[in-house]
Amino acid sequence: MQWQRNYFLIEQDAFGLNDTLIGIVLTYKDGDGDIGLNEGDTFPPYDRQSDTLGVIRNPYFYNLNVEYLEMKNGILGPFIIPNTTDTFKLQARISSLTPDGVHKAIRGDIDYQFTPPLFPGLRSDSVLLRVRLTDRALHQSNVVESPWIILP
């Protein structure tokens, strides 16, 4: 499984200075077609293990993971949620894309829209996203990086 192309859907303000990320489109190719999870995929290794605060800690519950890095005062690092020690993560469960029939090799686009759009009100100078997908056999895709996104 690997990403072929990627698009980060970014809207700029009226002056063309400040960006808001509204979604991503990822073009994939997979030889055995095991991308995505079914609603019934709730047992190990895809179960919803969570901590005492209800935060899901199982790395395989979500199969689309987006790492959020920020540039703040010239230093690149993970974005830490204010008043916590937790890093900000974007995670989603992509539904199964496995085709019917004998031939399972697939290619296509995953179009994921952020609701609400990301970044309004954050105090970073700019951000960078790194995206990775995990298939049902727990194989991970190559990492895709966004362009730098300049924030207000």
pLDDT of residue 27: 85
Strand ranges in the chain using DSSP code E only, listed in sequence order: 2-12, 19-30, 64-72, 75-78, 89-92, 106-118, 126-133, 144-145, 149-150
pLDDT of residue 45: 92
pLDDT of residue 59: 87
The per-residue pLDDT string of the chain (152 residues; one tens digit each, 9 = 90 and over) reads: 555 556 566 666 666 655 566 778 888 888 888 999 998 998 999 988 877 777 788 889 999 988 888 887 888 888 877 777 878 778 889 999 888 888 888 888 888 877 655 554 455 677 788 889 999 999 998 888 887 877 65
> Strand 89-92 relative to strand 64-72: parallel, antiparallel, unpaired?
antiparallel
pLDDT of residue 61: 93
Closest CA to 2 of 101, 114, 110: 110
DSSP one-letter code for 122: -
Closest CA to 77 of 65, 66, 67: 67
Q: Which residues contact 85 (CB under 8 A, 6 or more apart)?
A: none
pLDDT of residue 23: 77
